[in-house]
Chains A and B, each alone.
Chain A
Amino acid sequence: MLNFSIIMVAIMLCAALALNLWRLLIGPHIVDRILALDTMYINSIALILLYGMYNRTPLYFEAALLIAMLGFVSSVAFGKYLLRGDIIE
């Protein structure tokens, strides 16, 4: 039963990722694209955790943590660049 629900949720997450990708492609504004990218980061963290559960291993948490940090930093760097035209002032 657990494997079945994990696969169900994985399908839901993939659908969510596809929707995000659609928003990333159509825009219409650069801010929308950044927001879509940020959401994709969070969704892929969930997908990695699911993969870890499916394989019964806690090995993927470091990857999830790293993606969480890099996703946040890159989104903020994008925003900062658009806000000021520079990342480090």
Chain B
Amino acid sequence: MSFAVELTISILLLLGGLFVLVGSIGLLRLKDIYVRLHAPTKATTLGLGGILAASMVFLFVQRGYLSINELLITLFLVITAPVTAHILAKVAMHLEVAPVPHTKNKHLLATAREQQPPQLDNEQDTEKDA
């Protein structure tokens, strides 16, 4: 395996690992559940994408044909990660988990929980504030 190929694979792997690590750091550091949802859904999915791309290049160089299994895993994760995040956000609202105090527009939580449209008078208030 030539040096350039190894370098490409290593860079992809390191980028992927870095993003996965950042996602986990975010999961630990961020302050409330709604904010915590951001880190694993985005960073971890992209990180895994990087590792899968590295593995694809690796197998392509090693065996000479393009293995598409990795693409399948990536596709599956890209489709499912938002669904998990959506369901977990719904659960958090359903169980009335309190957001951090300086969250903006907290009044929207009440209507979002009941799946009702937002109340218009509140909305106008916030528009004035903004």
Contact = CB atoms under 8 A, between A and B. Distances in A.
B90 A83 contact: yes
A20 B84 CA distance: 17
Q: In which size bucket is the chain A interface?
A: 35 or more
Interface string B36-74: 110010001101100110110011001100010110110
A79 B17 contact: no
Nearest to A84: B94
A22 B94 CA distance: 25
B91 A31 contact: yes
B95 A82 contact: yes
Contact of A35 (B27, B47, B52, B62): B27
Interface in A36-64: 36, 38-39, 42-43, 45-46, 49-50, 52-53, 56, 58, 61, 64
A19 B14 contact: no
B interface secondary structure, majority:
helix
Nearest to B77: A68
A6 B88 contact: no
16 contacts: A2-B9, A9-B14, A19-B24, A19-B28, A22-B28, A30-B95, A38-B40, A39-B23, A39-B44, A52-B55, A65-B69, A65-B76, A75-B84, A76-B83, A76-B87, A82-B95
Interface of B: 1, 3, 6-7, 9-10, 13-14, 16-18, 20-21, 23-25, 27-28, 33, 36-37, 40, 44-45, 47-48, 51-52, 54-55, 58-59, 62-63, 67, 69-70, 72-73, 76-77, 80-81, 83-84, 87-88, 90-92, 94-95, 97
